[in-house]
Amino acid sequence: MSGDMAEFIREQLPIIDSRLASEDVDLLIRDYAAARIFVDECIVDIKGDTKDNYTHKSWFTSICRVIREWYFERYGQRMYGRPKSIAIGLVTYFDTPFRVKVPLVTMEPAEDELCTWVCLPFEVLPDERPLNWFTSPPNIEALSTDQRSALENKVRWVGNASRALVRNLDAADLLAPSANQNAESIPSHVWRGVDSALARPEMRGLAVWEFHMAAEKSFKLFLQQQGITALRTHNLLSLCERAEANGLAPVDKNILNQMPSDKQAIAHRYGELDPVSNDRIAEIYAAALNVCLSSVKRLRKRRPVLNTKFLIKRAAWAVDPDGDIDSSSDEHANSA
């Protein structure tokens, strides 16, 4: 692509990016959205071509490359983050908490090199290696066979629970905007709770609150789907009783009793109680996941919860990101 054309594109991007930011477009897809806006609103005519099906044309690839470079210059590695495809989990090892990152999307190559199998798993798949999910792993090689197996089972449980939570919420039949917002926030409370639990001891109070909120919102989401709203209480026992009276399968009260009371959760949030121990925060984390699952699994679904697999073919504009596919293509584009 000529320098003049590339420079013209770059001049438009601050305005386009400001618009996308105001519309809360995810940064992970903003470069592609910007490319579409540039073609739709800035390119008036193309000599010898049209804008029909332009995402499959080589000149669009060149435009995408310039825009992708500009976005990386502005936002750096944040462009390559994938927060929505990772669940953050907590696993204890010799009574010490460790962070694991559970992939919510898995990929494997297909026979066609331009295609990829993409899976949205609701459980840990047989060929996965959960011990590879530690962000800073312990010395796994020093463990005995039994210790290694026990640790892997812990990570596998976190993986199964995290994926089941997300997939059940994804599949839920939630029509009201407030219900969708509630559903989207539940996993975020869990992930934020893990981050706080693994920070300084004085941050564990926030972790207690986040785990409590995840459990609370899961009950409220179930009730919301039954048409019951405006429940202004943080009391998990009260919410559980109301949910069970409206069709929720009985929740294991031994697990529910492992959660802090609403007053304790609020006090922890404001640092009014001593930090909880590592063992206790791990217990609350596991209980919160179990309580959340007891509710979200019973939500009405618009589709089955499966290990859904898709065969995805890369778009033409993304096939060759390194070199100009057609260096003369920009000579035909007239911009407004």
The owner of tokens 């429940």 is 231
Domain count of the chain?
Answer: 2
* CA atoms of 124 and 122, how far apart (whole Å): 7
| 320: containing domain | 3-81+316-335
251 shares a domain with 137: yes
160 shares a domain with 129: yes
131 shares a domain with 119: yes
The whole-number pLDDT of residue 81 equals 53
199 shares a domain with 64: no
Q: At 314, is the pLDDT very low, low, confident or very high (cuts 50, 70, 90)?
A: low
200 shares a domain with 89: yes
Q: Which phi and psi (to 5°) does residue 145 adopt?
A: -60, -45
The whole-number pLDDT of residue 1 equals 63
| Residue pair 155/139 in contact by the 8 Å Cβ criterion | no
pLDDT tens-digit profile of 279-293? 999 999 999 999 999
The verdict on residue 311 lying in a domain is no
261 shares a domain with 147: yes
178 shares a domain with 54: no
The whole-number pLDDT of residue 117 equals 86
pLDDT tens-digit profile of 158-185? 999 999 999 999 999 987 777 888 888 9
The verdict on residue 129 lying in a domain is yes
Torsion over CA: 299, 302, 303, 308 (sign): negative
79 by Cβ neighbours in 10 Å (0-12 / 13-18 / 19+) ranks as middle
The whole-number pLDDT of residue 87 equals 94
- Pairing label, strands 96-103, 308-313: unpaired
180 shares a domain with 38: no
229 shares a domain with 110: yes
Query: Quick one: average pLDDT of 229-245?
Result: 91
